[in-house]
Amino acid sequence: MPDAHGASPTQALFTPLTVKLPDGRTLGLTRYGNPAHQVAVFHHGFGSSSLELPPTVALLDRLQLQILAPDRPGVGASSVYRPLTFPSFADDVVAMLDTLGVAGPVAALGWSVGGVHALALAARYPERVAAVQLLSTCLPLGEPAAYRQLTPTWKALRWGQTGFPWLNRASFLWLSRQWARNPDRAIDWCIRLMRQAEQDVTSKPGFRELLRDAAVQGFAHHGRGVFDDAQAWCRRPGFAIEDVRAPTTLWHGTADGVWDPINIPYLASRIAGARVHLLPGQGHMMYLENWAEILEETRRLLGPLRPA
């Protein structure tokens, strides 16, 4: 059974949890909202963790939603798992849901690389996913069809990750030490490297601290989780995007400086009935400023509120 650290079940509006997976590993997660409410599973971004969500307690309560945000292997309290793949983490998420007693269909949300993990969950377990929300999402770098859509920069980054894994491992180890030793300096350094649309959001009080704390947990375990996540992203994905059957919405900023919005119509064309929300002038962190609207849309896709 899960171990809760912090709030009691009746107060679980922002609760760290751990569950034991079938193979004995530990999966860490954060629950946002009331455990009696309908579930949305949030997949965090690359180099981040389950702490990257705004704790919108009142909104979640009004929408009768709880968010379960699992940390991928090697992130936060989650055990390192070197053979990480998109399907293996989808299996971990379903094991988490089973352990927590979540039997009904859930919404799958994902930001950035987390969007690919959300797609994997929906494709691998269509009976468990009733809706998908993709937030500034990326393409699977190791899929040949998707690879042809990549910009030269992303093709070069994939080449570097697969061709020189030892160099990337050393880089993530160095970054993990920076986040552990001086997280304020690390987040300010990251903000300076961002484009203007991302800087405008990330540097805001509240968001800056939220993303800082999420990254500290993201680079736990000497950065091994980030490295393994990157490796999984660069391999063949192990699932077909076309197998996603749940109603899907793609949210993306037109000024996204991380993942070019030119790829979003292509991704949407591979998901039956997918809808696209392009947000003028917004960047890769757009989910932070549009979280209320995203949750409202999630509620709509999941169906009407239950009678009180």
Convert the pLDDT of each residue in 199-211 to its tens digit: 999 988 899 999 9
Q: Is residue 307 part of a domain?
A: no
Into how many domains does the chain fold?
Answer: 1
pTM, full prediction: 0.94
Amino acid letter, residue 68: L
Per-residue pLDDT at 74 exceeds 60: yes
Q: Is residue 136 part of a domain?
A: yes
Strands 38-43 and 26-33: unpaired
Convert the pLDDT of each residue in 173-198 to its tens digit: 999 999 999 999 999 999 999 999 99
Q: What is the DSSP string of 80-96?
A: P-TT--HHHHHHHHHHH
Mean pLDDT of 104-122: 97
pLDDT of residue 3: 40
Collapsing DSSP to helix, strand or coil, 171 comes out as helix
Per-residue pLDDT at 111 exceeds 80: yes
Give the list of residues 6+ apart from residue 97 with CB closer than 8 angstroms, or none.
39, 41, 68, 106, 128
| Residue 79 domain boundaries | 3-302
% of the chain at pLDDT higher than 70: 95
Phi/psi at 54 (5° precision): -65, 130
Q: Is residue 40 part of a domain?
A: yes
Convert the pLDDT of each residue in 219-265 to its tens digit: 999 999 999 999 999 999 999 999 999 999 999 999 999 999 999 99
Q: Is residue 308 part of a domain?
A: no
CATH number of the domain where residue 21 is located:
3.40.50.1820
